[in-house]
Amino acid sequence: MLSIEPMKYLAVCAQQSPEHQVLTFAAKAADVLRFASIERIGRDAQGELSGFQRPQVAAHIREIRDYLEKPNAVLPNPIVVAFTDRVAIDDLGNGAATLTIDISGGTPGLVVDGQQRLSALTQIDRDFQVFVSALICRDDAELRRQFVLINNTRPLPKSLIYELLPTVDDLPPRLSRRSMAANLTARLNFENTALKGYIKQHTSPGGIIADTVIQKIIMESLANGVMRELIKSHDGETSCVRLISNFFDGVKRAFPEAWHGHNPSSSRLLHGAGIQAMGDVMEVLAQRGSARTVNDFQDGLQCLRGKTAWTEGKWELGGEVRGWNALQNVNRDISLLKHYLVGVVKADQRQRRKAAPTPLLDRAVG
């Protein structure tokens, strides 16, 4: 059996983080794919996340390829590859080093940035070298963390970054808050909930409700709503998932004609504006009406029957009259719809409290 020789490169070391080793060297594009792979994001049958790169964008790759086929083409931006093992660094002094990569067991590196450029390079008939920035990480968790932090400042789809956040530790506070919301959103989309398959994510492109819209509802509730205390219980995350699932199950039952068979274009109930506004309705019912079950929410939503224009008619919102499909996913329209729906529900809750027998009367009747 033939042994596979390791790949060796003369590299330049950069003095950056004391916890990481960062090197740069030049390599042929074909050779990069011998020591690094592009692991595309996906989910298994159980909904577990794997990989972290976005799907290939064919049009973008073709554009890069067409440019690189020109004889005067240059590509100064490096391909960033992360390693966790099977690499050795021999310090040569003065910032130089020999990087040895063991490929006997397959590709030890993962492409963290530059997947489209690398894919385009493999399609051209040229002996083209690229710069490779090698980042040595202590483990897979650190590798994913670096991917998120590096790409969060680049124009990658935010939904891809957000979907990866729950797999990463030690994030900045801003991303930590989003991480919790992204994790609950994924559970709603892949577990047995009322929203299973409805949420559009990178790993669920067939969904119709934007994941960022659901995340906004969750983040607002975690910060100032019912989930702020709910998340502190012994099964906090599960309780939050159950609450949102029960609410939207109640929504389906209260407005079946505006939910089933519709999409955001045909029903404002499934539109970004409608979903966010209903998130505020959920808060009112959960906090003022103590709603928790599907029946609780369905009952609390009855006051909106006949007062909405999800699929036809007109909205009367604070003196403004809008066609049913004139509401857009912009802050002003969302605010108008929230104010209207919440106002109707709060008024109904006040009436219910007035109509409810007092404890004194209960004792008298007893």
pTM: 0.60
- Stretch 286-299: mean pLDDT: 95
- Stretch 43-55: mean pLDDT: 54
For 222-280, what is each residue's pLDDT tens digit? 999 999 999 998 899 999 999 999 999 999 999 999 999 999 999 999 999 999 999 99
Whether residue 111 contacts residue 79, with contact meaning beta carbons closer than 8 Å, is answered with yes
SS3 content of the chain, % helix, strand, coil (to 5): 45, 20, 35
Per-residue buried b or exposed e for 82-114, using 16+ beta carbons within 10 Å of the residue's own CB? bbbebbeeeeeeeeebebebbbeeebbbbbbbb
The residue with greater pLDDT, 353 or 246, is 246
Any bridge partners for residue 88, and if so which?
100
Would you tell me how many other CB atoms lie within 10 Å of the CB of residue 252? 17
For the chain, what is the mean pLDDT? 86
- Helix residue ranges per DSSP H, 8-167: 29-35, 58-68, 115-121, 140-151, 158-164
Check whether 55 has a pLDDT greater than 90. Answer: no
87-93: strand order across its sheet: 36-37, 109-113, 79-83, 129-136, 21-28, 7-14, 96-101, 87-93
* 6 confidence band (pLDDT: 50, 70, 90): very high
- Classify 283 as helix, strand or coil: helix
The residue behind tokens 């390693």 is: 83
Check whether 159 has a pLDDT greater than 80. Answer: no
Least confident of 67-71, 165-169, 178-182, 343-347: 165-169
Q: Rounded CA gap, 64 and 49, in Å?
A: 29
Radius of gyration of the chain (CA): 27
Give residue 36's pLDDT.
92
Give residue 335's pLDDT.
95
- Stretch 24-46: mean pLDDT: 80
Structure tokens at 190: 């892949």
Q: Rounded CA gap, 338 and 276, in Å?
A: 8
* 361 confidence band (pLDDT: 50, 70, 90): very low
* 27 confidence band (pLDDT: 50, 70, 90): very high
**Following DSSP, what letter does each residue of 196-260 receive, concatenated?**
TTTEEBTTBTT-SEEHHHHHHHHHHHHHHSTHHHHTTSTTHHHHHHHHHHHHHHHHHHHSHHHHT
- Stretch 209-229: mean pLDDT: 94
Give residue 45's pLDDT.
60
Question: Distance from CA of residue 4 to its chain's centroid?
Answer: 40
